[in-house]
Structure 1
Amino acid sequence: MAKATRGSERREDALSRERIVEAAIALLDAEGENGLTFRALATRLTTGPGALYWHIANKSELLVAATDAVVARATGEVLVSASPHDAIRKIAVGVFDTIDAHPWVGAQLSRAPWETATLQIFERIGRQVQALGVAGAAQFTAASALLSYILGVSIQNAANARLFDPAVNRADFLETTSARWKALDAHEYPFTRTVATQMREHDDLAEFLAGIDLILIGVTASRSRGTTRE
């Protein structure tokens, strides 16, 4: 009887919450959110579905845990020695690349915007906003603006990528779209026609970071003017 108990303890130790979350991440990457079921996860872990419930209550909790784990990796590599501006850019790139590689993360962040994963990002941005010297209530405004931009653009970028048919080449798509913009009515769309060539040649990540820089220019300008909302 004691021998059987020790075997059960070893199996329980092997089937940890961390192992379940890692397997869930792999399953989500391979099959998407609809493919994440406790039965499929149990098959991947060579156990029974019932064993998973000792560690994870339901699919919602599992999605939150998987998102927390992925986002923690993305935001945990910012160098302490980086300047606040560079650190914010690194956080932004980490989130952008993570949501691009794991589109289900973007969906989860949209569905549960103030769970731990979003707070992790907000906290790391906020510390850098403080390091920039932003004062008072303007810290919340600056950090919130950066968070909204980073998540919004990252999620939209991942959604756009999923719209592409695998057979469609991105360069060809942009070329076609650029030509369509150039052909728009000059009176109704003067601006769109003007930037059509830039749209064809743009790099998604470079444009994303340029937007971060624009926000930080505004944050810095507000700081230099001593602007607060107190």
Structure 2
Amino acid sequence: MTTRARRPQRRNQVLSREQIIDTAVEMLDAGGESALTIRALTERLSTGSGAIYYHVGTRDELLDTATETVIGAALATRPAGTAATPGDEIRVVALALFDAIAAHQWLATRLSLQIIRNPVGPVTVGIFERIGGQVGALGVPRASWFDAASTLVHYILGAVSQNARIEGDTSGIDPSGDRDEFFDAASTAWQGLDPEAYPFMHAIVGQMREHDDREQFLTGIAVILDGLTHLC
């Protein structure tokens, strides 16, 4: 007597687009892009592939939508209180993007792809509008708005991506490596350098070991904002 493979039980309630996106983000967070397939998603949601394609389209479109959802939430972050300055607005949204990419390790690669492939998409336009919308209020001349906004955006994306998981060739990199162990090993190696040939490296070795990534990130924002005031 032969037995048929048991099919996953279909859900009775109506599946929403938001449920699909939220589940996709959970799967990406847990296992990266390789974990998110249409088949795995349908099994997780106890539904058919037709429902996925109907609500969000292909897998690539789902990845784009997941990126837009997470970035959109970060861009919606506002300073507490009613007396926020343009600098406050920039710092708050910059830190929200930093925290979003730290929380969603797959996001850095997808964010870069969106900006390169779709310059008129909601991610690219949203980031530039949210950041760039403050440079005029800082007093930056209109002729320098693009340069000022680009400098901020490039710094933010570069800094946050540096702390994210690297997609592609990761030979020699332990994705689960401990941050403190890494900096301890690096600082020990720097201390072993010739102090006469590398005086700067010896001067900062203690700072490197004990620095806080978020505080260092905000220091960079402060340096850029201070520089932008000199464009006035």
Q: TM-score with structure 2 length normalisation?
A: 0.83
Contact 2:101 2:107 in 1 (8 A): yes
Partner of 2:4: none
Kindly indicate whether the alpha-carbon contact (under 8 Å) linking 1:99 and 1:158 is maintained by their aligned counterparts in 2.
Answer: yes
Corresponding residue number in structure 1 for 2:214 = 205
- Normalized per residue, the structure richer in helix is 1
Alpha-carbon distance, 1:178 to partner: 1.1
3-state DSSP of counterpart to 2:55: coil
| 1:116 equivalent in alignment to 2:122 | yes
Pairing 1:21–2:18 present: no
Give the equivalent residue in structure 2 for 1:153: 159
The alpha-carbon deviation at position 165 of structure 1 amounts to 5.8
Q: Deviations over 1:165-204 (max 9, x none)?
A: 64x5433332221121121123442222221111011111
Equivalent in the alignment of 2:67: 67
Percent of paired sites with the same residue: 45
Q: CA RMSD in A?
A: 2.0
- Describe how 1:28-107 pairs up with structure 2 within 5 A: 28-79=28-79, 81-107=83-109
Question: Retained in 2: the 8 A contact 1:103–1:155?
Answer: no
1:150 maps to amino acid: I
Q: Is the 8 A contact 2:114 2:123 kept in 1?
A: no
Farther off after superposition, 90-99 or 184-193: 184-193
> Unaligned stretches of 5+ in structure 2?
1-11
Is this contact kept in 1: 2:135–2:148, CA < 8 A?
A: yes
Structure 1 runs of 4+ aligned residues shifted over 3 Å read 162-166
1:196 aligned residue: 205
> Please, which runs of 5 or more residues in structure 1 have no aligned partner?
1-9, 224-230
**Aligned pairs, number:** 210
Residues 49-97 of structure 1: CA deviation (Å, up to 9, x unaligned): 1221112221111111101110111110213642111111101110000
Q: CA deviation at 1:164?
A: 4.9
1:180 to 189, 210, 220: 189
Residues 146 and 16 of structure 1: is their aligned pair in 2 closer, same or farther, counting only changes over 3 Å? same
Report the TM-score, using the length of structure 1 for normalisation. 0.84
- The SS at the match of 2:56 is coil
Partner SS, residue 133 of structure 2: helix
| 1:24-70 residue CA offsets vs partner (Å, 9 max, x unmatched) | 11111112101111111111211011221112221111111101110
